[in-house]
Structure 1
Amino acid sequence: MGDSIQISQNLICQIIDDNDKSKKKPKKTKPKVPRESQKSQKKVPQKQQLPDESKAQKETPSAGWPLQPPFFMPVVPPSTNPELEAIRSVLKESEAVLEKMQKHEENMLKQVTQRSKELHEKEFKLPQQKSIVCQSEREACSACYKEHTKDSLKCANLVRSYQDCVRKAKNLGKLL
């Protein structure tokens, strides 16, 4: 139990360097930096990085969205399962029935709205205004009575003509 294994720092660095070289990493786009800041970065001397620092820098997120690997859906070959085929055929039939029902519903809706408009027009139509029968004779009588308030017998001829007009209208069915 007293045996122990010691790993040197150089061995760890070699392992890290080998892993970095063997893996191909996608090329990352560099964020656009104004020219002035690029010049200032060139003037600043860069210090040599230790392996631990390079690993820490790679783990920090870069500016912008990280690149995602493409997502591929596997192509599923058509199945020969009879149960699955039966389910698919029933599904297609039910979709066809659904489309027919929707068309039928649209037609019924059109018919109902058309019939409701017709009924509305019939029920709520304003009745034809009846013309007032013997209007001129009536106005003549009322004018005569206003003119001759004390002697109303002077309007007898106008009253008789108004009565005759009303009798004729009753006989013709114009008055109810």
Structure 2
Amino acid sequence: MTFSGRQEVYPGETAVMGEPFSIQISSNLLKQLAGDEDKSKRKTKKPKPKVQQSKVHHKQASDGLEPHQGTTSAGWPLQPPFFLPVSPPPPQVTNAEADAIRTVLQESERIMERLQKQEETMVQEVTQKAKELHDKEFKIPYQKPLPCLVEKDSCLDCYKEHVKDPLKCAEFAKMYADCARKVRQQMSS
């Protein structure tokens, strides 16, 4: 893969306007960058600080890279190869930190259990109080028995027994009518 373009100027450097450059990236370099972490832990070689004004060809046999071709002018240092940053491994948790986390977790679990028990008792208390209030509010007050209930029941029973001959129940009907008249007179006086 080859990239071409104009070279950027870094602080403290001078550049020649319009000087072309090219970068070649080999498949071996891509495999090394994407592959083994052991190889990425190696220290990279720093380029030599001396710069020549003529064309310079660098070959790094240990990296397996294709040669880098480019022209440099006086005062321009060679740029080091570009490597993708390797993400650092997650920080190791020490035993003291792990123990502290475990104790806090256990304490939280104990508190949660205590709160659940407290919630259960409160639910039982509220349910009991709600039942008591419901019973008090919707309790049917004591009612007086209906007057002449016995006379009414005996009259109805007679009519059920003598469906074809209702005249036999005339006496029960008269007793019920007399009882109802007495109750009406008591209420009006």
Report the TM range for the smaller structure's normalisation: 0.3 to 0.5
Say which structure is richer in helix: 1
Could you tell me the TM-score, scaled by structure 2's length? 0.34
Could you tell me the TM-score, scaled by structure 1's length? 0.36
